Amino acid sequence: MTTTTLNLKHYRPDDFKNFDWYEQCEREMGEDVFRRYVNRVWGVLLALPIDGKFFIEKMVEPENYEMFVKVACLFMFEDKTGWFEFNEEFTVIKRYK
Enter the pTM of the model: 0.90
Residue 24 is assigned to a structural domain of this protein = yes
Per-residue pLDDT tens over the stretch 3-34 = 568 999 999 988 877 888 899 999 999 999 99
Residue 28 is assigned to a structural domain of this protein = yes
How many domains does the chain contain in total? 1
Residue 10 is assigned to a structural domain of this protein = no
Per-residue pLDDT tens over the stretch 23-72 = 999 999 999 999 999 999 999 999 999 999 999 999 999 999 999 999 99
Nearest to 93 by CA among 8, 21, 2: 8
Residue 93, classed as helix, strand or coil, is strand
Residue 9 is assigned to a structural domain of this protein = no
Residue 64 is assigned to a structural domain of this protein = yes
Nearest to 69 by CA among 1, 5, 2, 7: 7
Residue 62 is assigned to a structural domain of this protein = yes
Range of the domain at 66: 18-95
Residue 47 is assigned to a structural domain of this protein = yes
